[in-house]
Structures are given as C-alpha cells and as structure tokens.
C-alpha cells in the first residue's frame, strides 16, 4: 500500500566488465543503443490467461551495443556485507522516489540524498521506479539512453558513499499497484511478459559485473493476490531473462497480496523476498487522501485496537513475522522493502509503532527501508504539524524519528551529525 507521494522505475542495457590489475579492480560500462528496440515484442494473435500451472515461453531479448561510457568502478565496498539470496545482509535505509511515478513528474536523483543517508549511518537505498520514465512514450520496447545514464550516476554515488542500491520496477511493463492500470496485464498477456523480461534483461546486461554488495534487483512491486503457480511462472521468466546476461545477480521478490504473503512458491528459484511494514493501515495511513474512508477513521493509538484485534507485539509477531520466518528456513532471505507512517498520525504514536516494528525485525534478523527519506513518511521535510523540526543542511529534520531509526543500527550512535 502506498502514498500518493510514492513511486519510481527504469530501462536498457549496459555492461560492467571488471578486471583485476595489481589487486585493483577496474571496469568498463558498455551501453546499448537506447534509441532502438531491444527486440520487437511478440504479440500473440489471441492472448489467453495462463492455466493454473502456466509455462510461458522463455523471452529472447536482444539488446544492442551502444556507445561506451565511463562507469563507476566495480570495486566491492568494504563497508557493505556480502549478500546471498538465502540470507540477506542487515540493510538499513530509505526509498528514494524521484522516478516513482511518471504521471507526477520524474526528476533526477540528487547526490546529496546519498551523501546524507551515508553520513547519518545508513547503508541502503531502494529505487522504486516507473518504467515509463525510460521507455519511449509510444513504444514501450524502446529505451532511452539519457534516462538510463541518470541511473548509472546513482550507482557511482552509491559506490562513493558505500550504499547498496536496490533497483525496483514500481511500475513494471504490465503491472502497477498504483493507478492507472497498465493497458496489457503482466499476469495474462504474453507481450507484457516479454517486454517486462526484456527491460530486466537490459538492466542485467548493463550492470553485469557490478558486485551484489552494491546492487540488487527487486522485480515487481507488490504483486496482487494471484495464484501461486502463476506468480512462480512470471517470476521464473523474468529471472531467466536476467540470468541470460548475469547469472550471479542478486534478485529480491515481493510477496503477493501486495507484499503481505510469504512467496513460498518461489523456493528453488534462488531469490530472496521482501515484505511490508504498513499494517495496521488505520495507524500508518490515517487520513491518507488516496485511501477511501481514511478521513473517517478514528485517530489511532498504539497499540491499535481494530475491532476484536489488538495490534500488540504478540499479534504482529504471529501475523507478520512468523509466516515469513518459515520461508527463511526453506532458503529464502527476507527484508522489509517498505514501511512508514503517514504524517497525519500523531508523532508519538508513529514513533511508538516504528520502535516496536524495528525491534521485531531486529529479532527476526531483517533489514528494512523506510518509505520515504524526504516526504510525508520520512525524516526530512515530512510536513508534520506536531514536530519541532531541526534546521539541518537547509532541510527540516525530524530528529526524534531519526534517533529511533539510528538506535537500531549496529553500533550506531544517536549523536548529532
């Protein structure tokens, strides 16, 4: 579930080739020609919904060569942990929304955000992006080089500031949790599946050789409540497209039912998983304008009582933690890809909610990413009426929320930066 202040996505193929020379890794980034289609999508004469155990044909994306640009080096960062799909590192950070929703205006990412996130003690950024920001408006199989180069720059900054980057298709070709719906559905249309796979293949080729310490892919943001066999088939197709060019890339998949259902159906695909930390919505999305009826909810308290359910520590562990720890024992690492509290919830209630969830995730061994860094869920320029903001680097900093987050970082101090 998201705010109308949340979303971002992106595009086509470059390659990192790292070579060790005297113990120092170098790299070259070969770009694909973004003005040409990676491949013509194959539109079936009569698209039909897959059966309960679909077996869609593997895509054959064919990215083409493009001018060479200078990449960030492919040197693994000493401050970042080695990730594995079986056990994700303890990542702590934020979602950055510059390319979250093309309809609301996509912007360039800002280096200062990466600098500040690192300075404040965090190690992770998730980029929820809208593929339309890098696709040609009238041909979703044509990817624009200039926009992709903006993402290349993000990886240079992340390397400089020792941050892990998680690239997410918040709007993928064929699916978005945010309106409007895509014209062709990823879940039952072969062309949409092919184009989505081709986009991911181009990202894989573009960033081949970038260490998993620095980069991971998060395939589809918050899939709906779909048949597990269908979910596995689509994710398998996307993974195959990526692994054709980069068989070592770390892949993270959101659970179905909008990130709330553990994806046990993905066991064996060698992927990690991401859940969400927004429940109960009556607390985290109180008076959110994009949720019907949220303006009529009672002001939330913590723990929230919702009918017969009290959202206390035991309820949260049983409903939101235990089901996910079960897939950890089956070889799927877990993290919290998004969580946060909208700025209409009373500040002390928001902080109590966050403190409890962060403690539970620490006990489960999960990393997390706040939605967002700047904005109504974040620690900077969040627009809360009941916060005494600190003026910091020209921004309005929510020091109390920052201190709550930092108190859950390994060895972190809450001293002022």
Phi, psi of 166 (to 5 degrees): -115, 110
Asked, for residue 107, whether it belongs to a domain, the answer is yes
Give the span between the Cα atoms of 159 and 207, in whole angstroms: 13
Asked, for residue 330, whether it belongs to a domain, the answer is yes
N- to C-terminal Cα separation, the chain: 32
Asked, for residue 62, whether it belongs to a domain, the answer is yes
Tokens, residue 81: 């942990």
Check residue 412 and give its pLDDT: 54
* Type and span of the H or E element at 66: strand 65-69
Check residue 124 and give its pLDDT: 98
Residue whose entry in the numeric block shows the structure tokens 């929304």? 97
Do 221 and 254 meet the contact criterion of CB atoms below 8 Å apart? yes
Burial class (CB in 10 A: 0-12, 13-18, 19+), 403: middle
Asked, for residue 412, whether it belongs to a domain, the answer is no
Residue 280 preceded by cis peptide, ω within 30: yes
Check residue 216 and give its pLDDT: 98
Give the span between the Cα atoms of 221 and 219, in whole angstroms: 7
**Rg, the chain, Cα only:** 21
Tokens, residue 4: 């109308």
Do 380 and 374 meet the contact criterion of CB atoms below 8 Å apart? yes
Check residue 28 and give its pLDDT: 30
Residue 372 preceded by cis peptide, ω within 30: yes
Q: What is the DSSP string of 377-413?
A: TSSBS---TT--PEEETTEEE-HHHHHHHHTTSTT--
Burial class (CB in 10 A: 0-12, 13-18, 19+), 46: exposed
Sequence-ordered list of residues with C-beta below 8 angstroms from that of 291, at least 6 positions apart, any chain:
1, 281, 285
Do 27 and 72 meet the contact criterion of CB atoms below 8 Å apart? yes
Asked, for residue 82, whether it belongs to a domain, the answer is yes
Residue numbers of the domain that contains 181: 14-35+56-406
Tokens, residue 15: 């390659």
CATH number, domain of 220, equals 3.20.20.80
Q: What is the DSSP string of 268-311?
A: TS--EEEEEE--SHHHHTTT-TTSTTGGGSPPP-SSPEETTEE-
pLDDT along the chain (417 residues), means of 10: 38 29 30 35 30 33 36 45 91 97 95 98 98 97 96 97 98 97 98 98 98 97 98 98 98 98 98 98 97 97 95 97 96 98 98 98 97 98 98 97 96 51
CA angle 182, 168, 335 (to 5 degrees): 125
Q: Dihedral angle at the C-alpha atoms of 144, 147, 153, 157, nearest 10 degrees? A: -140
Asked, for residue 244, whether it belongs to a domain, the answer is yes
Do 371 and 377 meet the contact criterion of CB atoms below 8 Å apart? yes
353-387 per-residue burial string, b: 16 or more CB within 10 A, e: under 16: bbebbbebbeebebbbbbbbbbbbbbbbebebeeb
SS3 99: coil
SS3 200: helix
Do 237 and 247 meet the contact criterion of CB atoms below 8 Å apart? no
Taken in order 74, 149, 125, 205, the sign of the CA dihedral is: negative
* CA distance readout (Å), 155 to 61, 79, 111, 271: 24, 15, 10, 22
Do 392 and 382 meet the contact criterion of CB atoms below 8 Å apart? no
Please report how the helices 228-243 and 190-206 are oriented relative to each other, as an axis angle in degrees rounded to 10. Answer: 40
* Type and span of the H or E element at 415: none
Asked, for residue 181, whether it belongs to a domain, the answer is yes
Asked, for residue 129, whether it belongs to a domain, the answer is yes
Give the chain's domain count.
1
Phi, psi of 172 (to 5 degrees): -95, 155
**126, 114, 129, 143: which is closest to 205 by C-alpha?**
143
């Amino acid at each position: 579930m998201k705010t109308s202040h949340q979303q971002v996505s992106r595009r086509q193929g470059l390659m990192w080739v790292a070579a060790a020379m005297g113990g120092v890794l170098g790299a070259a980034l070969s770009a694909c020609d973004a003005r040409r289609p990676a491949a013509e999508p194959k539109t079936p004469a009569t698209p039909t919904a897959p059966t309960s155990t679909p077996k869609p044909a593997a895509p054959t994306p064919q990215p083409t060569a493009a001018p060479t640009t200078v990449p960030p080096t492919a040197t693994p960062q000493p401050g970042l942990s080695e990730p594995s799909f079986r056990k994700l590192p303890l990542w702590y950070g934020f979602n950055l929304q510059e390319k979250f929703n093309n309809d609301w205006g996509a912007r360039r990412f800002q280096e200062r955000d990466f600098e500040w996130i690192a300075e404040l003690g965090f190690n992770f950024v998730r980029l929820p992006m809208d593929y339309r920001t890098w696709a040609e408006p009238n041909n979703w199989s044509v990817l624009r080089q200039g926009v992709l180069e903006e993402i290349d720059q993000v990886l240079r900054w992340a390397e400089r500031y020792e941050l892990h980057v998680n690239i997410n298709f918040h709007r993928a070709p064929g699916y978005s949790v945010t309106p409007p719906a895509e014209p062709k559905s990823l879940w039952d249309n072969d062309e949409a599946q092919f184009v989505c796979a081709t986009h991911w293949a181009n990202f894989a080729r573009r960033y081949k050789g970038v260490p998993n310490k620095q980069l991971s892919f998060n395939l589809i943001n918050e899939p709906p409540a779909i048949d597990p066999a269908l979910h596995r088939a689509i994710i398998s197709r996307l993974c195959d497209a990526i692994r054709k060019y980069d068989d070592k890339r770390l892949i993270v998949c959101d659970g179905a039912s909008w990130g709330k259902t553990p994806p046990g159906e993905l066991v064996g695909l060698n992927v990690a998983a991401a859940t969400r930390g927004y429940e109960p919505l009556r607390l985290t999305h109180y008076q959110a304008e994009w949720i019907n009826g949220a303006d009529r909810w009672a002001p939330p308290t913590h723990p929230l009582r919702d009918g017969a359910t009290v959202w206390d520590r035991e309820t949260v562990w049983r409903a939101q933690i235990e089901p996910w720890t079960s897939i950890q024992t089956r070889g799927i690492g877990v993290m919290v890809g998004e969580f946060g509290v909208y700025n209409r919830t009373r500040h002390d209630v928001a902080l109590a909610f966050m403190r409890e969830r962060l403690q539970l995730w620490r006990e489960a061994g999960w990393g997390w990413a706040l939605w967002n860094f700047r904005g109504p869920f974040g620690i900077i320029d969040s627009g809360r009426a009941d916060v005494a903001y600190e003026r910091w680097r020209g921004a309005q900093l929510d020091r109390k929320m920052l201190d709550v987050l930092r108190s859950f970082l390994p060895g972190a101090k809450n001293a002022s930066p």
